[in-house]
Amino acid sequence: MEKIGFIGLGIMGRPMAKNLIKAGYKLIVYDKFAAFDDIKALGAEGASSSREVASKSDIVITMLPNSPHVKDAILGKDGVAEGIRPGTTVIDMSSIAPAVSREVGEALGKKNVFFLDAPVSGGEPKAIDGTLAIMVGGDKAVFEKVKPLLLKMGSSAVLAGGVGAGNVTKLANQIIVALNIAAVSEAFTLAVKAGVDPQQVFEAIKGGLAGSTVLNAKIPMILDGNFKPGFRIELHIKDLQNALDTAHELGVPIPLTAGIMETLQALKNDGLSASDHSAIIRYYEKLAKVEVRK
């Protein structure tokens, strides 16, 4: 079985790596900022740099916060590109700017290294369960070769196009999720202000056209006042900034995204950066002077 290098063991990367170990893969792991003794205790080999990971791996996976972290880990000093062997595949599962994915892919291509961008959706709960939705950009043959590996971390893996297409798809996903949470928040704030039981509103509408995965996942959290992060507001800000930057580069107006970005910035200013993005409702609650709870 191929040896897998895994770089980035944060909220998402840690459970993803654990699922690969459970599936029987041999891992070599590294994180520049976080300890990973628990991963080594499960049988993974520890490394001292991204370069070392790459030199000992057949496939390298990176799961990092944003574009600069990916560029540093792959193209920077002691990075993947310095240690990697020709014919190796690098899969970046971070959510970053599509232009950076293409830049990294081109740089690795010059070393005869294959590259896929493969961001995920589902947050920490689905990373733990191994049921992430994985959106992939890159060569079809490379994708088909690693698809069984990806499906140890996700319930679906879909090739969206060439390098960068995975992250374009993720940006589309993040726009829809943010605006869906905002729509749910507006609607339920109105219902509670009007004196209607939010639990009954949820039961009444979840089976109709307004029903959605977002509604089913976030309303129970909101009604319990549980804003423990599965996906933090600060990370959604990062993704929407990448969406806005990409849209501006392409000349595509996305005014609704700009609006929800300002809502998220207001929540950040209120000290809620580390809260789950379901806390978008806190913005509407503050304006309406009401709480949407059981």
* Residues identified as active-site: 170
Token pair, residue 34, equals 């976080």
Whether residue 50 contacts residue 73, with contact meaning beta carbons closer than 8 Å, is answered with yes
Q: Which residues contact 119 (CB under 8 A, 6 or more apart)?
A: 93, 94, 95, 96, 134, 135, 166, 167, 169, 170
Long-range CB contacts (within 8 A, 24+) of 13-16: 13/63, 13/64, 13/93, 14/38, 14/39, 15/124, 15/127, 15/128, 16/61, 16/63, 16/93, 16/127, 16/132, 16/153
Are the C-beta atoms of 240 and 264 separated by less than 8 Å? yes
